[in-house]
A and B are shown apart, each in its own frame.
Chain A
Amino acid sequence: MTQRITIDPITRLEGHGKIEIFLDDAGNVANSYFQIPELRGFERFCVGRPIEEMPLITNRICGVCPEAHHMAASKAADMVYKVDPPRTGKMLRELLYSAFYCTDHTTHFYALGGPDFVMGPDAPVAERNILGVIHKVGLEIGGKVIQMRKYGHTVVEMLGGRKVHPCTSIPGGMTKGITEEQRKEIEEMGRWAIDFAHFSLKLFNDIVLGNKGYVDLILGDVYTHRTYYMGLVDENNKVNFYDGKVRVVDPNGKEFVKYAPKDYAEHIAEHVEPWTYLKFPYLKKVGWKGFVDGIDSGVYMATPLSRLNASDGMATPRAQEEYEKFYATLGGKPVHQRLAIHWARLIELLYAAERWVELATDSEITSADVHTRPTQTPTEGIGIVEAPRGTLTHHYWTDERGIVTKVNLIVGTTNNYAPIQMSTHKAATSLIKDGVVNEGLLNMVEMAFRAYDPCFGCATHSLPGQMPLEITIRDADGNPVKVLKQFC
């Protein structure tokens, strides 16, 4: 028997992860609901502003990935003006973005995802953080993480004009180029980043892949879903973070569709559930069949693992070697185990570092031709990039003066809301049997959604570093039988 539930709208707006689990008469999981907050009014906030403001405003949506919004917004603004930036302008954007990726993926692995593995999923929560990693593995790691971040910030500041919220990518290209002296400095930092990415992959290899328990955890059924996968690819179907077409593969790894950003609305629809304000994107041509996996369900995932699954490889040589090792170790493509996202993230870190150096050593990177002046009447534009945590879509409509009349955004985490819901449900189902709640439930649920690197509150920053989480378990009559809390 499944309980009918009503959730007060105020409850829905709790500023942290809240999961309600409903048990059936036998004490097993009937339903679970992972509720997350949603920010409102962004479209209303943007309408009436000049399109040129969008790359500056949208990068304030989120304190974590302003660079991703800056890039998607300026690409959409390019299309609004029907202007194609010069090659150097595009390369500078991608160079900035590659340095940002290195910073972001490093932070996630060492401060968020890594501690679960390095310290072990059963370690006390207070030890599962970056300090725990340093105490266990050595001080050297902390220094490298800080150095990697410093180099990433430096490149973003050099190219983006500001350390945190870049402002140089505008409709038609960039506002400024780089000097030969800056180029040399950027190249040097990029070469260090490649070594750091190798170091990180070796660490993963030694600590995680060298531990049978962890490998079993990754390959186990608890964190496995056979869904569709999405990612941007270049003309050779290789992973690209900044540009290309969106490719989707089915649960068997076969290409389902490849579309240009402008066609996204033909392929993506959004499902609404009564218990949350956030919508669940799905593949329109497959259809919404509920929170289920398989080839007949339109649920897809957009994460580092998805990008690898949706591509035919990496466009740089060393990352390609790691890509091949990844699939050889995990049994071929596609990989459905969600905890493998952590490993995929490190392969992307290496790709981003290699791409950083490739771009910094291109003979045209110091060209002064960084901007094409827009001359067309503005209308409508769509820009898609891969944010670290998923495919990011910006869609703007303007009047003939370039004043924004309508906005639609699909942010990275939103793509993954349905898979995250499925993963937390599966973790709960495996740890609650016949009314007995396994004490490891909080950790296992936390690991389930942490792999996705979700950005729940985008701009609020109000979610603490240690994810506050409250799980309420209710019996068949809807009465709470157990409440598990962490950091709240």
Chain B
Amino acid sequence: MKTLVIGLGNPILGDDGVGWKVAEEVKKQLPQDAPVDVDFLSLGGISLMEHLIGYERAILIDAFALDEPTGSILVLKLSDLPNYSAFHTTSTHDTSLQTAIELGKSMGAHLPADVEIVGIATGRIYDFSEELSAPVADAVPFAAHIVLDLLRQTIRS
């Protein structure tokens, strides 16, 4: 099963870059021959959908502004999300990822049937920094472990 893991976020915007850090960790720990691509993006909407074309399975790792304690980890499906709440699955300049995927499918593009999301709870982020806050940094190895667990089935097949 052709699988894509994407770390989403802005690597120079503090905790917003946690998706990249987790994806880096996943990439390090993946067996070399695993049929999994790992990418790092700062995109949403149609642009993000375009990167998913050709894959059967996709896992997105992203920061979420939640009421949960900072550093909490959520695992969910894109279809579970209301059509607006994730950070990078949406973009002010085009449309939501859900709508973009529907658009791509209606154009005949081969897209994953559903998209899994591993979210890390952060506060609202407004300060530029290359560093993660301590609770978010602590969550990175756990989130990477979860992504690798999710991938295990794909890697075996």
Contact of A131 among B16, B102, B128 (CB under 8 A): B102
- Contacts A39-B13, A57-B12 given: A457-B107 contact, CB under 8 Å? no
CB pair A465–B96 under 8 Å, yes or no, is yes
- Contacts A111-B45, A131-B103, A153-B50 given: A465-B90 contact, CB under 8 Å? yes
CB pair B42–A63 under 8 Å, yes or no, is yes
Residues of A within 8 A of B41 (CB): 164
Query: Does A37 interact with chain B (Cβ within 8 Å)?
Result: yes
CB pair B126–A460 under 8 Å, yes or no, is yes
CB pair B99–A461 under 8 Å, yes or no, is no
CB pair B93–A460 under 8 Å, yes or no, is no
Residues of B within 8 A of A104 (CB): 93
Query: Does A467 interact with chain B (Cβ within 8 Å)?
Result: yes
Contact of B106 among A134, A456, A457 (CB under 8 A): A134
Number of interface residues of A (CB under 8 A): 49
CB pair B42–A60 under 8 Å, yes or no, is yes
Minimum CB–CB distance for A358 against chain B, Å? 27
Residue of B nearest to A43 (CB): B128
Contact of B16 among A456, A460, A468 (CB under 8 A): A460
Query: Does B125 interact with chain A (Cβ within 8 Å)?
Result: yes
- Contacts A15-B65, A60-B10, A142-B107 given: A461-B87 contact, CB under 8 Å? yes
Contact with A along B12-51 (1 / 0, CB 8 A): 1100100000000000000000000000011111110010
Residues of A within 8 A of B7 (CB): none
CB pair A465–B128 under 8 Å, yes or no, is no
Query: Does B110 interact with chain A (Cβ within 8 Å)?
Result: no
Residue of B nearest to A37 (CB): B126
Number of interface residues of B (CB under 8 A): 41
Residues of A within 8 A of B109 (CB): 146
CB pair B125–A462 under 8 Å, yes or no, is yes
Contact of A459 among B13, B43, B44 (CB under 8 A): B13
Residues of B within 8 A of A209 (CB): none
- Contacts A149-B46, A453-B93 given: A139-B107 contact, CB under 8 Å? yes
Task: Give the number of A-B contacts (CB < 8 Å).
Answer: 144
Minimum CB–CB distance for B143 against chain A, Å? 19
Residue of B nearest to A104 (CB): B93
Q: Which of B13, B47, B87 has the most CB of A within 10 A?
A: B13
CB pair A462–B99 under 8 Å, yes or no, is no
CB pair B13–A460 under 8 Å, yes or no, is yes
- A146 to B108 alpha-carbon distance, docked (Å): 11
Residue of A nearest to B49 (CB): A146
Contact of A461 among B44, B103, B129 (CB under 8 A): B44
Minimum CB–CB distance for B103 against chain A, Å? 6
CB pair A64–B93 under 8 Å, yes or no, is yes
- Contacts A38-B126, A40-B128, A459-B10 given: A108-B106 contact, CB under 8 Å? no
Could you tell me which residues of chain B, from 89 to 118, have a CB within 8 Å of some CB in chain A?
Answer: 90-97, 99, 102-104, 106-107, 109
CB pair B43–A164 under 8 Å, yes or no, is yes
CB pair B46–A111 under 8 Å, yes or no, is yes
Contact of A107 among B13, B46, B87, B125 (CB under 8 A): B46
Contact with A along B60-92 (1 / 0, CB 8 A): 000001000000000000000001110110111
Q: Which of B9, B41, B128 has the most CB of A within 10 A?
A: B128
CB pair A468–B84 under 8 Å, yes or no, is yes
Residues of A within 8 A of B107 (CB): 139, 142-143, 146
- A134 to B45 alpha-carbon distance, docked (Å): 17
CB pair A460–B94 under 8 Å, yes or no, is no
Minimum CB–CB distance for B9 against chain A, Å? 8
Residues of A within 8 A of B85 (CB): 464
Query: Does B11 interact with chain A (Cβ within 8 Å)?
Result: yes
Residues of A within 8 A of B46 (CB): 107, 111, 130, 146, 149
25 A–B pairs (Cβ distance < 8 Å), ordered by A: A13-B126, A40-B128, A45-B129, A57-B12, A107-B46, A111-B93, A129-B99, A134-B103, A143-B107, A146-B104, A146-B107, A149-B50, A150-B50, A164-B43, A455-B92, A456-B92, A459-B13, A459-B42, A462-B124, A463-B92, A465-B91, A465-B92, A466-B83, A466-B84, A466-B95
Chain B residues packing against A (C-beta within 8 Å): 9-13, 16, 41-47, 50, 65, 83-85, 87-88, 90-97, 99, 102-104, 106-107, 109, 124-129
